Structure 1
Amino acid sequence: MKIFYLGLLWIGGTTLSCQNQNETVPLTNTREQDSLELIQMVAERERAMIQKDMALAMDRFAEDATWINSQGYYFKGREELEKFHGMMMGNDSLAYYYEVGKPKIRLLDSQNALAYYSWKMFWYKKEIPSDTTFKEIGLMTLNAHKKKEGWKWTAVTNQHTPWFYPEIIPVTVD
């Protein structure tokens, strides 16, 4: 009788083990899909900033999102983030050129992720587009959370950097 039960346990364990192995394939696929979706969200954000499209810029922010800009100001809630973006997009005397580098996505788990990317924003007077008055270069860190409706940006930290990095590459300290 013990041999019979041991046999059942072995068959059951093997079956569960095989099922778990099969479940990793969709998980990897989901991770890849999540990464691609987050990369697309960064691309949408870049397009929104270039086209000064407020609706597109704000579309992926959660209602309770927060933002710390490159000067250290803390904005809380989607409404305040929209006002902040409105100051840039709706400036009556200055316009800007905007570009981002290749995003680096770090999936923390199935519902949380970080996106890093370099950005540059060159401000110019609207009446003289060839005259850059101020150059901003920085690194954006965005936290994203996935719910039923999909990924949303929940927190952003922005910092100035001396250089624009076309791609975020880990460094080592010797």
Structure 2
Amino acid sequence: MSAEADRQSFFKGRQLPGSRCGKAEASSAFAGFATFYISREKKMLRNLLAACCAASLLISGCSTIKISERNTSIVLAKDAKKGEGPSGIADTFPLEGKIVAYMTFGWDDTNARGGSQKVEVKWFSGDRLVSAPSNSFDFGRPPHYVWFTTYGTALGIGKARVEVYVDGVFAGSKTFEIVGKI
């Protein structure tokens, strides 16, 4: 039995309360209203489903950007400021000074957003892991800049290294030295 036949059998012989029209006219009018109302609900449900799908793609980042050594640049500096970048780029730092690992992440498709990425920086004194701070960032369009800071006193005098990981994948490293005085 078709949907139209189902609807006609349901409304057959029924009259809207308070209606002055005959049973056939009432059922026809009510059937038209019911069809309109149901189709409107279906459209609203379809639009809601489409909006939910779009939102879930946006929340998940909808990005296939993978950060690796190939698209990461790391410099070490004495300071960094938003909008200005690193200053005092060096590979030797004083024991009492600040050390900034400044990363630039880029990718080929300049229209693609990088999405949510967890960046972890591991600071080593020789081969001993001293600290491993991390933070999640929403990478917009490239390039994207991130920096982490430590101090010479945290690492001690001697050879040191910083390693960068993005979403658990090695993205690069830099070696440097900490001296008593420069």
Identify the TM-score tier after normalising by the shorter chain: 0.3 to 0.5
TM-score (norm 1): 0.38
Higher helix share: 1
Whose radius of gyration is greater, 1 or 2?
2
